[in-house]
Amino acid sequence: MKYLIYSVVTIFLVGITAGGFQHFSILHAVPQLVLLLVILVAAERKNLDYLFVAIVGGVLLDFTTSIAFGSYTLSFLVIGMLAKFLFEDMLLARSPLKHIPWVVTSAIFVQHLWIWLYNGTLIRFHSSYIPLRLSEAMLIAIGAIIYTLLLLFPAYWIIEKLNDYIEHLDNRKKY
């Protein structure tokens, strides 16, 4: 049941980004809602749920953005694992909300850098067709950071509620 909820939420986020936020872009960028979901699930949940969200969201975005397959899936997985490591094994576990803004900022930069590098490499092997410029990728990253941080706290609140609901489902399953 929880995987169905995660899938629906991820599809919904990709849908509203494509249909809604695209019309209100900041510096040509839209908020990175799926990335935010991956980081928040990694920070809030004690299991590997973030990997599921990273794979579903990554595959959806890889297909819809026309860039090389793996650009989003692999970056979400790596960012999710790093976020998990930071929030669980390092000091950040004490107050995750305080650290989420800079984690999100770094994650968006890393992700855009990765997409540029990955696509640039795959173009040489004829597996990607749309070249990206580093300067544009970085400018879009700045726009995406501003937009994502603006939506961070409402998103955090929604993920908290989602988390409570999934925990409630998990507990009901146990007993």
DSSP calls for 55-114:
HHHHHHHHHHT-S-TTHHHHHHHHHHHHHHIIIIISGGGG-HHHHHHHHHHHHHHHHHHH
CB closer to another protein, 15 vs 168: 15
Instruction: Pick between residue 17 and residue 97 the one whose CB is nearest to another protein.
Output: 17
Rounded to a whole number of angstroms, the minimum distance from the CB of residue 175 to another protein is: 25
Question: At its nearest, how many Å lie between another protein and the CB of residue 131?
Answer: 5
Which H or E run contains 160? Answer: helix 152-174
Nearest-approach distance from CB 133 to another protein, in angstroms: 7
Write down the least CB distance from residue 139 to another protein, Å. 7
Q: Which residues pair with 3 in a beta bridge?
A: none
What percentage of the chain's residues is helix, strand, coil (to nearest 5)?
Answer: 80, 0, 20
Nearer to another protein, 60 or 107 (CB): 60
Contact residues: another protein, CB under 8 A: 11-12, 14-25, 27-30, 32, 48, 51, 55, 59-61, 63-70, 73-74, 77-78, 81, 84, 112, 115, 122, 126-127, 129-133, 136-137, 139-140, 144
Spatial contact of 39 and 77, defined as CB atoms under 8 Å apart: no
In the three-class reduction of DSSP (H, G, I as helix; E, B as strand; rest coil), residue 126 is classed as coil
Nearer Cβ to another protein (23/98): 23
- Residue 51 or 149: the one with the smaller Cβ distance to another protein is 51
CB of 102 to another protein, least distance (A): 21
Residue 151 neighbours by CB under 8 Å, 6+ apart: 31, 33, 36
